[in-house]
Structure 1
Amino acid sequence: MEKKPEKDSKSASQLIDEKIEELGDWRGQMLSKVRNIIKQVDPEVVEEWKWRGTPVWSHDGIICTGETYKNVVKMTFAKGASLEDHMHIFNSSLDGNVRRAIDFHQGDQVNEEALKELIRAAIALNNSSSKTSRKR
């Protein structure tokens, strides 16, 4: 019988912790900051680990992902095109019909209030979508 890889036995939260630690630079710090903001807005958020190493935060559906690349930490909102971005913090994936993203580069400051507003709006949209689908 084949032994499962060690990562299979760890929770998504543990894997995200490890990812932050492995990055060990500004990207880990930014991912940690974004994660903390999400948890402040929604203490009930579900952390998931999908697509071979992408942190995902969900509440009645995906709120957003936290992807890390060489020069950017990308926070992609699954239904971002449907969200009001009053503070205009979406700066990536602006042409799509569904998703919107925020690219954070080294040295960028996070507009916490605007980000919290988007997270709340994404959760509200997921809640309204899940209630609609339950009625069918």
Structure 2
Amino acid sequence: MSDDWRTATAQRARELILQADPEIEEEAKWRKPTNPDGVPTFSRDGIVCTLETYKDKVKLTFAQGASLDDPAGIFNASLDAGTRRAVDLHEGDELDAEAFQALVRVAVARNQAS
């Protein structure tokens, strides 16, 4: 990942996730030759979300997003997926920190209720 807007955006998202629930654990999953660093995955009692960087966006995919309340409308991608929902952040996008952290906490609560 180059040191550009994507790096800063991914780092900010990572900080917000870990601040939302200090017991969330981050680990790299799904390592492969084309992605030796793997996918940053945030879990607490199951996967909460993943953080991926693409050429044109940073994508935060919530594993059980389709079953989460999102009153602030943070989800803007994978809206037709059966289970997941995602947040795509493009250059210049501002992530609503308070609403995003509330969504992370709802995802943790859903995992703990399962």
TM-score of the two chains, using structure 1 as the length reference: 0.77
- How many pairs were matched up? 108
1:47 maps to 2:26? yes
- Structure 1 gap segments, 5+ residues each: 1-21, 130-136
Match of 1:101, SS state, is strand
SS state of the match for residue 75, structure 1? strand
Runs of at least 5 residues in structure 2 that lack an aligned partner in the other structure: 32-37
Once residues 128 and 36 of structure 1 are traced to their aligned partners in structure 2, the CA distance between those partners, rounded to angstroms, is: 25
Say yes or no: does 1:69 pair with 2:54: yes
CA distances 1:25-57 after superposition (whole Å, capped 9, x unpaired): 111101100000011111111111011211000
1:29-44 matches, within 5 Å, as 29-44=8-23
Whether 2:3 is the aligned partner of 1:24: answer: yes
RMSD: 0.8
Structure with larger Rg: 1
Q: TM-score w.r.t. structure 2 length? A: 0.92
The runs of 4+ residues in structure 1 deviating greater than 3 Å are none
Match of 2:75 in 1: 90
State the identity as a percent. 53
The structure with the largest helix share of the pair is 1
